[in-house]
């Protein structure tokens, strides 16, 4: 039987559009109860036993035996050797991508600014001190696929932010190490790395073991076990986000070659069966042309089975009244990746409020953003772009408020604070402020 990708066809003119649209968008972020319980047990075990538990789960889930966790640590020499062994084209591509990612995140530093302060009319100093995190962990998926690009996107902004240590964990089932991932760790400047994965890796980073150092924050994507573990260790450490399935939404005006758009929809559908690919366009004939292109191109895809299921189960080709309506629907979806495949992308960009990343113009395929354009590819999913941002240097920094009240300033601020504290019934707060109204520091001369 011929394999086909059949995304649902919808039209905003149909009376049932709203119900059909919501049904197609629906995806539950709730993790399977069995997974949640297993993750809970693994986290507790690693927290209690440390290295022995990590070794046990690594043997059980990755079929990788070791007598100590130190045997699972990758060395800087291995990183450099892998870099030297990969084909020259890969070396050059890695270095070019790394340079662009670094340049973009350095621009973020300049835009965000650093520490700042000022003095008010009473001489009181107020400000903010910006400091990098001491140590972060990056989770790099391994197994069905490998993601050296994730190493770039997590490690480089951490370096730019000034993070002192970057600890990478990457599963290597049956001990099979991916040379490109190791080479990328060399280019990106990973400090230490361990060949462990799953919930046990997240636990090791969050709690620390006899060998794996405890980190301040964990970034990077993973499967349902990793996502559940990150959610549960939040508070002990920081996390970047809980990522759902990959998403792409294409706003098209019908001027881009249909093959290009079809392949862009494939680019996210090939990640997994739950990925979502949606096309919005006011031209019905163009939607037909994109469907025909998908039918023609699908047999060429090595991951055709995954693409077909993803598009058939969660994909959509939606006919809109006009591009303005398409932009409004896009804002409701708040997609991870948003392509504006139009001859006039800057006409529509001001209408777009919610998206992880916006790709402007027919030549800007989402895949360029995944690897080498420069902006980060770790993006909010499942509508969280309404209130979340891409991973950036700001995720690897923290801010401390600076307050230095002068004697004159204490006379004004003390009275204000005392009134409010008494109103809240917090007498010690009030008295602490009031003491500064009449008291003076002793003369130490």
Task: Calculate mean pLDDT across residues 101-117.
Answer: 91
Residues taking part in catalysis = 336-337
pLDDT exceeds 80 at position 143: no
Which pLDDT score, from 0 to 100, does residue 217 have? Answer: 98
- For the stretch 373-382, pLDDT in tens is 999 999 999 9
Least confident of 27-36, 81-90, 203-212: 27-36
Look at residue 165 and tell me whether its pLDDT is greater than 90.
Answer: yes
pLDDT recorded at residue 444:
60
Per residue in 420-435, pLDDT (tens digit) is 999 999 999 999 999 9
Q: How far is CA 402 from the centre of its chain?
A: 30
Residue 31 pLDDT exceeds 80: no
With 80 as the cut, is the pLDDT of residue 30 above it?
no
> Residue 440: its pLDDT value, please?
76
In SS3 terms, the chain reads as CCCCCCCEEEECCCCCHHHHHHHHHCCCCCCCHHHHHHHHHHHHHHHHHCHHHHHHHHHHHHCCCCCCHHHHEECHHHHHHHHHHCCHHHHHHHHHHHHHHHHHHHHHHHHHCCCEEEECCCCCEEEEEEEECCEEEEECCCCCCCCHHHHHHHHHHHHHHCCCEEEEECCCHHHCCCHHHHHHHHHHCCCEEECCCHHHHHHHHHHCCCCCCCCCEEECCCCHHHHHHHHHHECCEEECCCCCCCEEEEEECCCCCHHHHHHHHHHHHCCCCCCEEEEEECCHHHHHHHHHHHHHHHHHCCCHHHHHHHHHHHCEEEECCCHHHHHHHHHHHCCCEEEEECCCHHHHHHHCCCCCEEEECCCCCHHHHHHCCCCCCCCCCCCHHHCCCCCCHHHHEEEEEEEECCHHHHHHHHHHHHHHHHHHCCHHHHHHHHHHHHCCCCCCC
| pLDDT per residue as tens digits for the range 307-322 | 999 999 999 999 999 9
Looking at residue 370, its pLDDT comes to 94
| Mean of per-residue pLDDT scores for the chain | 95
Q: Rounded CA gap, 391 and 240, in Å? A: 7
Given a cut of 90, whether residue 279 has pLDDT beyond it is: yes
pLDDT band at 27 (very low <50, low <70, confident <90, very high): confident
Alpha-carbon span 82 to 74, nearest angstrom: 11
- pLDDT tier, 144 (very low <50, low <70, confident <90, very high otherwise): low
Mean pLDDT along residues 170-189: 95
Which tokens belong to 325?
A: 């309506």
Q: How far apart (Å, rounded) are the C-alpha atoms in residues 98 and 100?
A: 5
pTM of the model: 0.92
Distances (CA, A) of 344 to 15, 252, 261: 31, 10, 16
Q: What is the pLDDT of residue 244?
A: 85
**Does residue 395 carry a pLDDT above 80?**
yes
156 touches 163 (CB < 8 A): no
pLDDT at 445: 61
Q: Please give the pLDDT value at position 142.
A: 84
pLDDT category at 266 given cuts 50, 70, 90 is very high
Q: Once rounded to an integer, what is the mean pLDDT over residues 126-153? A: 92
- What is the pLDDT, as a whole number, of residue 389? 96
φ/ψ of residue 219, rounded to 5: -125, 165
Beta-carbon-side half-sphere exposure of residue 198 (alpha carbons within 13 Å): 25
Could you tell me what percent of the chain has a pLDDT over 70?
A: 98
CA angle 344, 347, 348 (to 5 degrees): 100
What is the per-residue pLDDT for 385? 96
Query: pLDDT digit string (tens) for 34-67?
Result: 999 999 999 999 999 999 999 999 999 999 999 9
d(CA 360, CA 348): 9
Question: Burial code of 13-37, b = ≥16 C-beta within 10 A, e = fewer?
Answer: eeeebeebbeebeeeeeebeeebbe
Rounded mean pLDDT, 255-275: 96
């Amino acid at each position: 039987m011929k394999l086909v990708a059949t995304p649902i066809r919808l039209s905003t003119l149909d009376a049932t559009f709203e119900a059909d649209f919501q049904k197609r968008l629906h995806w539950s972020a709730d993790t399977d109860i069995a997974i949640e319980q297993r993750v809970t047990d693994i986290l507790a075990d690693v927290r209690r036993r440390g290295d022995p538990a990590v070794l046990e789960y690594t043997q059980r889930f990755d079929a990788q035996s070791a007598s100590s966790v130190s045997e699972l640590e990758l060395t800087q020499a291995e990183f450099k050797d892998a870099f030297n062994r990969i084909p020259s084209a890969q070396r050059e591509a890695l270095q070019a991508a790394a340079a662009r990612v670094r340049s973009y995140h350095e621009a973020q530093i300049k835009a965000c600014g650093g520490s700042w302060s000022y003095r008010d009319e009473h001489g009181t100093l107020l400000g903010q001190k910006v400091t990098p995190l001491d140590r972060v962990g990056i989770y790099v998926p391994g197994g069905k696929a490998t993601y050296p690009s994730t190493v770039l996107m997590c490690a480089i902004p951490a370096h730019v932010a000034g993070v002192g240590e970057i600890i990478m964990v990457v599963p290597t089932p049956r001990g099979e190490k991916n040379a490109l991932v190791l080479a990328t760790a060399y280019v990106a400047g990973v400090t230490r790395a361990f060949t462990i994965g799953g919930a046990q890796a997240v636990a090791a980073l969050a709690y620390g073991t006899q060998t794996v150092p405890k980190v301040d924050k964990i970034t990077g994507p993973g499967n349902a076990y990793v996502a559940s573990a990150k959610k549960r260790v939040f508070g002990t450490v920081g996390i970047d986000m809980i990522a759902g399935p990959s998403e792409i939404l294409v706003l098209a005006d019908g001027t881009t070659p249909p093959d290009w758009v079809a392949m862009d929809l494939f680019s996210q559908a090939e990640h997994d069966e739950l990925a979502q690919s949606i096309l919005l366009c006011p031209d019905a004939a163009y939607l037909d042309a994109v469907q025909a292109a998908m039918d023609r191109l699908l047999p060429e895809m090595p991951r055709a089975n995954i693409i077909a299921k993803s598009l058939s189960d969660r994909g959509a080709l939606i006919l809109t009244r006009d591009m303005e309506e398409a932009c409004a629907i896009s804002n409701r979806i708040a997609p991870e990746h948003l392509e504006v495949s139009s001859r006039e992308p800057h006409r529509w960009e001001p209408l777009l409020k919610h998206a992880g990343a916006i790709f402007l113009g027919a030549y800007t395929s989402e895949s360029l953003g995944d690897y080498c354009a420069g902006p980060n590819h770790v993006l909010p999913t499942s509508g969280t772009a309404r209130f979340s941002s891409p991973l950036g240097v700001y995720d690897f920094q923290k801010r401390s408020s600076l307050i230095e009240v002068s004697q004159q300033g204490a006379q004004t601020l003390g009275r204000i604070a005392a009134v409010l504290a008494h109103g809240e019934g917090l007498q010690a707060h009030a008295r602490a402020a009031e003491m500064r109204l009449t008291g003076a520091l002793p003369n130490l001369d």
